[in-house]
Each structure stands twice: as structure tokens, then as C-alpha cells.
């Protein structure tokens, strides 16, 4: 059985003090540590504070891991403004989002750069979360599967997927930050397709244990129906994760589905 994973992606939100307050709120909540895995992708400026709160507060009794929202593919060098995998690993980061649609759409990240990052994250001992998904135009023109397959295959180039671990996050671009969520049938079709492609790249056994998350305006009202789909193993949660109580409510509903 694949253990459900819920990742809170704060994006460019929360100061260091607000980060501390979020984790203090989390520590007051009650969640079965055996129910699922959780991770929180905070801004770079909050990583050290979040790591300390996870290790030294009541949140330590919860299945919470630290995640980063992005990284460079080199461990050091003349890359002003970038953060390396080695720096993240030093802060006990476990998961790193790679290729999020906002990085692809707003900052021009290509499949090639995404692949470099996936390989670098895994090489530093962390778990890459490869994000992929189609735009509205690509879905309307019937290119959802070709786009998803291309992003998956190219994103995993150079990664030893037989030995390593990775997480896939399907996030249709047209459903992110729009309040629109893909239908259950749309999500189920793409997740099943991705697992089939992953099985061809690695093996059916590895594909069967690889977690595929759904991201795209997931909230407490929609999460149960999404989590109940057989190929969905959790969610990448944006705006609904900014309040700790609301995020844990979402996680509880997803885990109970």
C-alpha cells in the first residue's frame, strides 16, 4: 500500500514569525501519526525556522517533513540568488518541489532544467517531487497525455528510478489558483496514464509503490472525492495550506476517504 502524502506549498507567503506561528498552531492540533505523511514547503527564508519547529516542538510527534519549493542543480558556484541541493540537505529538507507549473510558466523552466534539478535533488539524498501538467490550451486540443508523458520522461532523465525514490505531482495548469478542480474522471485518467508510463520506464513493481499526488485548487470540500480515486496518493496543496487548522482538516478528510 502507498502511504498518502500531503504537501503544503506556501509559495511566496509567510515571514519567519508567521512561519513560527503556523507550526505552533500545528502543534496544538491532533492527528494520527500513522494516518499519512505530511510535508510543508516553506520559502527559503523560513527553512531554518521550520526545521527547528519540527524538531523541537509538539509538531515533532506528527508525521511532518520539511520541503523546499525549488533549487538549483549545482551544489555551488557563481549562481547569484540561487539555492543549492547541498544547502537544502544541510537544513534537513526531505522533499523538493521541481518543475512546479509556476516555475515553468513564469520563470521559463524547461524540461531539461527540470531533469537536472530532479537528478541533483536525488543525488543530495532528498526526494524530488516532479510536478507536471497541461495548460488549458493543451487540454482543449487533446494533448494532455502527450504533454504529461513528455514531462514525465524528460523530467526523469538521468535519475536512477530503480534505486531512488521520487514523487510525481499532477497539477493541471488550468486548475491552479483558479478555484477550478479537474473532474474525478479527468484526474483518474491522467494518474492511471502516468503510472503506466512510469511502469514502462522502471517496472510495474516500482510504479506500484511510487506516489502520484494531485495538485490544483485542492480544498477541504474537494479532497475526499479526489483521495478516493485509486491512483491518487495525496495532494499538493496551495492556498488551503496557509492556515494550519484548515490544512489538517483537509488532510484528515483525505486520509479518511
Interatomic CA distance for residues 232 and 254, integer angstroms: 10
The one catalytic residue in 109, 134, 138, 171 is 171
The length of the chain, given as a count of residues: 257
48: which 3 cell numbers?
531554518
Q: Does residue 191 carry a catalytic annotation?
A: no
The one catalytic residue in 100, 102, 138, 231 is: 100
Candidates 203, 197, 202, 257; CA nearest to 230 is 257
For the chain, the three-class secondary structure string (H helix, E strand, C coil) is CCCCEEEEECCCCCCHHHHHHHHHHHHCCCCCCCCCEEEEEECHHHHHHHHHHHHHCHHHHCCEEEEECCCCCCCCCCCCCCCCHHHHHHCCCCEEEECCHHHHHHHCCCHHHHHHHHHHHHHCCCEEEEEECCCHHHHHCCCHHHHHHHHHHHHCCCCCCCCCCCEEEECCHHHCCCCCCCCHHHHHHHHHHHHHHHHHHCCHHHHHHCCEEEECCCCCCCHHHHHCCCCCCEEEECHHHCCHHHHHHHHHHHHHC
Please confirm, yes or no, whether 82 is among the known catalytic residues: no
- What positions carry a catalytic annotation? 100, 171
Amino acid at each position: 500500500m502507498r502511504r498518502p502524502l500531503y504537501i503544503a506549498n506556501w509559495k511566496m507567503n509567510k515571514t519567519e514569525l508567521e512561519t513560527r506561528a503556523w507550526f505552533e498552531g500545528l502543534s496544538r492540533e491532533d492527528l494520527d501519526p500513522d494516518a499519512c505523511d505530511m510535508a510543508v514547503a516553506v520559502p527559503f527564508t523560513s527553512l531554518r525556522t521550520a526545521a527547528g519547529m519540527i524538531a523541537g516542538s509538539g509538531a515533532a510527534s506528527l508525521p511532518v517533513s520539511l520541503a523546499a519549493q525549488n533549487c538549483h542543480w549545482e551544489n555551488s558556484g557563481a549562481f547569484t540568488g540561487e539555492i543549492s541541493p547541498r544547502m537544502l540537505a544541510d537544513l534537513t529538507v526531505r522533499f523538493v518541489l521541481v518543475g512546479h507549473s509556476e516555475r515553468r510558466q513564469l520563470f521559463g523552466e524547461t524540461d531539461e532544467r527540470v531533469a537536472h534539478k530532479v537528478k541533483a535533488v536525488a543525488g543530495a539524498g532528498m526526494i524530488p517531487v516532479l510536478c507536471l501538467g497541461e495548460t488549458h490550451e493543451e487540454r482543449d486540443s487533446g494533448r494532455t497525455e502527450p504533454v504529461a508523458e513528455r514531462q514525465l520522461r524528460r523530467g526523469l532523465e538521468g535519475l536512477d528510478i530503480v534505486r531512488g525514490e521520487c514523487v510525481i505531482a499532477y497539477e493541471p495548469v488550468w486548475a491552479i489558483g483558479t478555484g477550478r478542480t479537474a473532474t474525478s474522471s479527468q484526474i483518474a485518467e491522467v494518474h492511471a496514464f502516468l503510472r503506466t508510463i512510469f511502469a514502462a520506464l522502471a517496472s510495474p513493481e516500482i510504479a506500484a509503490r511510487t506516489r502520484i499526488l494531485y495538485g490544483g485548487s485542492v480544498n477541504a470540500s474537494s479532497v475526499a472525492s479526489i483521495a478516493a480515486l485509486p491512483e491518487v496518493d495525496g495532494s499538493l496543496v496551495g492556498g488551503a495550506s496557509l492556515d494550519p487548522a484548515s490544512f489538517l482538516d483537509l488532510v484528515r478528510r483525505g486520509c479518511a476517504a
